[in-house]
Amino acid sequence: MNYKKDEVTNLLNTKCMNVFGCSIDDATEKQAYKTLCYVVKDLLAEKRSKFAKQYKEKEGKQVYYMSMEFLVGTSLRNNLYNLGMESVFKSALKQKKIDINSLYAMEPDAGLGNGGLGRLASCYMDAMTSLGMMGTGFSIRYEFGIFKQKIVDGWQMEFPDNWLEMGDVWLNRREDESFIIKFGGTLKEEWTDGKLKVTHENYQPVMAVPYDMYISGYDTDAVNKLVLWSAKSPNNLDMTAFSRGEYVRSLEENTMAEVISKILYPADDHIEGKRLRIKQQYLLVSASLQSILLKHIKKYKTLDNLPDKVAIHINDTHPALCVPELTRILIDEYGYDWDKAWDIVTRTLTYTNHTVMSEALERWPESLFSAELPRIYQIVLEINRRLVQKLNEVYPGDIAKIEYMSPVAHGEVRMANLCLAACHKVNGVSKLHSDILINSIFKDYYNIEPDKFTNVTNGIAYRRWLCQSNPELASLIKNLIGDKFVHDATALEGLLKYKGDKNVLESLQKIKLVKKQALAKYISHANGINVDPSSIFDVQIKRLHEYKRQLLNVLQILHMYNVIKDNPNADITPRTFVFAAKASAGYMMAKQIIRLISAVADLVDSDAAVRDKIKVVFIEDYKVSLAEIIIPAAEISEQISIAGKEASGTGNMKLMINGAVTLGTLDGANVEICEQVGKDNIFLFGMTAPEVEELWRKGYNPNFFVTPELKRVLDMLTSGILGTRFEDISKSLLTNSFGTADAYMTIADFESYRQAQERVGKEYLNRDKFTDMSLVNIAKAGIFSADRAVKEYADNIWNIKL
Ligand code: GL7
């Protein structure tokens, strides 16, 4: 958008006067921040209205992206950047003696997600918009997002994240477009004119109120919307109870309803089978579908053409209730018969699987499901009945297989099977992951309908992760290859011609140093530790989960500690190990591992012989805005999950595009990163996914893999040298009585990891060679852009022409 400095100043002044009754000169910092956000929101609203009008005339197909999570992070800088207005706002504010960076710093992260899955949804909203596509995200307006983490004596403590206090500036409430959602109750069945009519009675009504958040894209006419539903009671106050003097009771109904959108479940890669969670899921699904269909019918007067105009995407199984709910609305509210309704449902819905972890595959006890959602349960049973009939024809008599594939079996409703049965496209999120889906967990479905299955390797909103969080690097790249890469990430390949170019390598090193200094400053402020910016910055930043093997990293650090203790002159390249990770609140082993990292940090730091060679830092409260500081400073990107378990990873891509070299297993998208950069530009180690499988088949006993070095490290866990004894961790690795010790094969991969770490230390010493690796990583990261991923979704899954 083209605005001059004076015009911007005017906008700020007028807005500030209207909202706060003062000019921007007299505003407090908080008022200035809010004013700026409101002005930006207005600009987006104006663009949105033009875009929506154009789109309406075109009658194109659009996508609705349903996700229980959108990890939005901050929006202010991103919106200004995308609108191309950062510098004009900066100078207008500067004239008023306001530093735009201090306003940026006031914005809380909208942490409406746990980790990779939620951040991916936000990256895709950015890409859809940047590609000029009409795409709407649907989620929940959690009053409290992902908890704030503090580490106290090594233990993780969780605190509520009241993001709305400063974050609600971006939301537009649209109360008059609310919908009623029905929970519980009973069903009445009546036959009239040979037709069965089902009436839902005695239910608890909850009102879903939408809040819109505008999503900007880079250099585009499009502005999209993220619609966040908030729950409230349709009856604000029970007047009878109130007049009896029962004040608390008079508000009870409202409180019960509001609790549905109160807080994000902090579960990542596993499920929380709680009653409230299914209510959240149904609120999202029912409200969104009601609004989509209402809009569609207003425009087209029929729902027959829904699949031609609308793609509804189910992001992981969390919104899988879309399957029965869309069927229900078509039948109960729009009078379709089953076959016609089911045809529309299957042609409209698509599904992405994001994990093979069995503890994350959602299942609900039938008793809970039927009590909360009686009509939906009835529909699920009918879907199941028809499917089983069909499967009996394909796999006659194979009861075990049919049961495995059924949406309802063994007293449970299984959400993945519901999606597999209904969606016309199903995809995994990296080549390896999609292969595992079709060869293993979804094999039986694949055998019947192979064309249904496809892969879309994840991608990132690289303009946020490179251009905005590392403007120094982006500007060097622009000077070298021009700015085509800002639209087309594959143009980064142009950098390859600077391989071995001394000047360019030196510039890259300088920029890395600047970003490392910035991170060192943050660490000194946040942790009170001074780290050396000339040491290798080796980072592992992601949720804490055993399969991600932060433990492997820590064990190797303890080994390095021993090497230095044995020989203080040992040839060890100084290293700073940076960790940041939240653990799910009830996940004890993950919390123990955080405690171990803190204990190792203390051990290393208290030892004069070691502390100049290695430093261990656990930075608390990992979130999008913190990632934006850590990632540009990273040199080694730890992607060390056991092969076969990390569906894709996206942090690996963000780190790569900032020049960090991956130290990883051949898991998830690491496989494709390796394909891109070649084996010389990545540090690979560990078993491959088939080797892991093979070892399980043969029978895995970790004790056979314990080398003398590792034995020494494992003994440290229980010797007391770390201040506390980490018996649970030690036991989980070695002596689980059910023969499932070391479920993530940390011990089997240790030796190979240790050697890879040794290579890292050696190769880093040749600064130009290492920087060349870094350059190749940046140059080859283009394929991992969300623009590419979303184009593939549009082409192969949503059938939307761009
Ligand atoms: C995840 C995967 O674990 C992660 O590998 C993937 O990159 C991400 C996005 O596809 O989805 N699945 C999942 O349940 N969570 C993830 O981050 C929480």
Q: Does residue 203 sit within a domain?
A: yes
CA of 123 to the centre of ligand 1 (A): 13
Which of 548, 620, 542 lies closest to 156 in space, CA to CA? 620
pLDDT at 251: 86
pLDDT, tens digit (0-9, with 9 covering 90-100), for 177-227: 999 999 999 999 998 888 889 999 999 999 999 999 999 999 999 999 999
pLDDT band for 630, please (50, 70, 90 cuts): very high
β-bridge pairing 195-201 and 186-192: antiparallel
Tell me the best of 67, 69, 112, 117 to mutate to test the pocket of ligand 1, counting ligand atoms within 8 Å of each CB and taking the most: 117
Q: Is the CB of 268 under 6 A from ligand 1?
A: yes
Are residues 519 and 600 both part of a single domain?
yes
pLDDT band for 567, please (50, 70, 90 cuts): very high
* Tokens linked to 221: 């006419």
pLDDT at 739: 64
Q: Is the CB of 269 under 6 A from ligand 1?
A: yes
pLDDT at 93: 98
Q: Is the CB of 647 under 6 A from ligand 1?
A: yes
Lowest mean pLDDT among 156-170, 250-264, 397-411, 614-628: 250-264
Are residues 446 and 572 both part of a single domain?
no
Are residues 67 and 7 both part of a single domain?
no
Catalytically annotated residue among 77, 354, 463, 613: 354
Average pLDDT of 784-797? 98
Q: Is the CB of 123 under 6 A from ligand 1?
A: no
Q: Is the CB of 117 under 6 A from ligand 1?
A: yes
Lookup result for tokens 């609004």: 291
**Percent share of the chain, pLDDT over 90:** 93
Q: Does residue 574 sit within a domain?
A: yes
Residue 381's CB is within 10 A of a number of other CB atoms, namely 16
Catalytically annotated residue among 542, 545, 615, 645: 542
Is the per-residue pLDDT at 415 higher than 90? Answer: yes
pLDDT, tens digit (0-9, with 9 covering 90-100), for 473-482: 999 999 999 9
Q: Is the CB of 652 under 6 A from ligand 1?
A: no
Distance (Å, whole) CA 371 – CA 229 = 23
Prediction ipTM score: 0.97
pLDDT, tens digit (0-9, with 9 covering 90-100), for 271-301: 877 899 999 999 999 999 999 999 999 999 9
Q: Give the CATH number of the domain where residue 306 resides.
A: 3.40.50.2000
* Tokens linked to 263: 């807080």
pLDDT top residue among 501 and 271: 501
Which of 58, 223, 67 lies closest to 139 in space, CA to CA? 67
Q: Does residue 717 sit within a domain?
A: no
Is the per-residue pLDDT at 738 higher than 70? Answer: no
Average pLDDT of 146-155? 97
Nearest atom in ligand 1 to 429's CA? 10
Are residues 91 and 119 both part of a single domain?
no
What is the number of alpha carbons within 13 Å of residue 89 lying toward its C-beta? 26
pLDDT at 57: 86
Are residues 394 and 416 both part of a single domain?
yes
Average pLDDT of 19-32? 97
Lookup result for tokens 């070649």: 678
pLDDT, tens digit (0-9, with 9 covering 90-100), for 677-716: 999 999 999 999 999 999 999 999 999 999 999 999 999 9
Q: Is the CB of 362 under 6 A from ligand 1?
A: no
* Tokens linked to 299: 């425009």
Q: Does residue 727 sit within a domain?
A: no
Residue 375's CB is within 10 A of a number of other CB atoms, namely 21
Q: Is the CB of 217 under 6 A from ligand 1?
A: no
Are residues 144 and 175 both part of a single domain?
yes
Are residues 489 and 440 both part of a single domain?
no
CA of 117 to the centre of ligand 1 (A): 5
Asked if 219 and 488 count as a contact pair (C-beta separation under 8 A), the reply is no
pLDDT at 249: 86
Q: Does residue 592 sit within a domain?
A: yes
Q: Is the CB of 639 under 6 A from ligand 1?
A: no
Catalytically annotated residue among 548, 575, 591, 791: 548
DSSP result, 477-500: HHHHH-SGGGT-GGGGGGGGGGTT
Nearest atom in ligand 1 to 268's CA? 18
Average pLDDT of 98-102? 97
pLDDT at 764: 98
Asked if 622 and 642 count as a contact pair (C-beta separation under 8 A), the reply is no
pLDDT band for 735, please (50, 70, 90 cuts): confident
pLDDT band for 255, please (50, 70, 90 cuts): confident
Average pLDDT of 5-15? 97
Residue closest via CA to ligand 1's atom 11 equals 117
CA of 460 to the centre of ligand 1 (A): 13
pLDDT, tens digit (0-9, with 9 covering 90-100), for 553-563: 999 999 999 99
Range of the domain at 53: 1-58+75-106
pLDDT at 736: 65
pLDDT, tens digit (0-9, with 9 covering 90-100), for 349-396: 999 999 999 888 899 999 999 999 999 999 999 999 999 999 999 999
Catalytically annotated residue among 543, 615, 754, 788: 543
Are residues 217 and 318 both part of a single domain?
yes
Reported in sequence order, the residue ranges of 533-675 that DSSP labels E, i.e. its strands, are: 536-541, 575-580, 614-618, 636-639, 661-664
Average pLDDT of 448-472? 98
Are residues 278 and 348 both part of a single domain?
yes
Q: Does residue 714 sit within a domain?
A: no
- Which phi-psi region, left, alpha or beta, contains residue 532 (left: φ > 0; alpha: ψ -120 to 50)? beta
Distance (Å, whole) CA 495 – CA 472 = 15
- Which phi-psi region, left, alpha or beta, contains residue 335 (left: φ > 0; alpha: ψ -120 to 50)? left
To the query of whether residue 654 is one of the catalytic residues in this protein, the response is yes
Which of 665, 757, 761, 748 lies closest to 707 in space, CA to CA? 748
Q: Is the CB of 648 under 6 A from ligand 1?
A: yes
Q: Does residue 711 sit within a domain?
A: no
Are residues 577 and 615 both part of a single domain?
yes
Instruction: Specify the number of domains making up the chain.
Output: 3
CA of 316 to the centre of ligand 1 (A): 9
pLDDT band for 737, please (50, 70, 90 cuts): low
Distance (Å, whole) CA 229 – CA 181 = 11
Identity of the residue numbered 544: L
Average pLDDT of 649-657? 98
Residue 672's CB is within 10 A of a number of other CB atoms, namely 19
Q: What end-to-end distance do the CA atoms of the chain give, in Å?
A: 23
Q: Is the CB of 374 under 6 A from ligand 1?
A: no
Distance (Å, whole) CA 137 – CA 224 = 8
pLDDT, tens digit (0-9, with 9 covering 90-100), for 51-88: 999 998 888 999 999 999 999 999 999 999 999 999 99
Are residues 512 and 608 both part of a single domain?
yes
Count Cβ atoms within 10 A of the Cβ of residue 201 and give its class: 0-12 exposed, 13-18 middle, 19 or more buried: exposed
Catalytically annotated residue among 654, 754, 788, 791: 654
To the query of whether residue 354 is one of the catalytic residues in this protein, the response is yes
Q: What are phi and psi of 715, to 5 degrees?
A: -65, -30
Q: Is the CB of 210 under 6 A from ligand 1?
A: no
Nearest atom in ligand 1 to 647's CA? 5
Q: Does residue 703 sit within a domain?
A: no
Distance (Å, whole) CA 730 – CA 369 = 39
Q: Is the CB of 356 under 6 A from ligand 1?
A: no
DSSP result, 251-281: HHHHHHHHGGGTB----SSS----HHHHHHH
Lookup result for tokens 């735009």: 100
Residue closest via CA to ligand 1's atom 9 equals 117
Are residues 11 and 69 both part of a single domain?
no
Which of 666, 672, 742 lies closest to 702 in space, CA to CA? 742
Tell me the best of 122, 268, 355, 640 to mutate to test the pocket of ligand 1, counting ligand atoms within 8 Å of each CB and taking the most: 355
Average pLDDT of 720-736? 92
Residue closest via CA to ligand 1's atom 12 equals 354
pLDDT at 203: 96
CA of 433 to the centre of ligand 1 (A): 11
Q: What are phi and psi of 331, to 5 degrees?
A: -80, -55
CA of 378 to the centre of ligand 1 (A): 31
Which of 434, 356, 442, 441 lies closest to 642 in space, CA to CA? 356
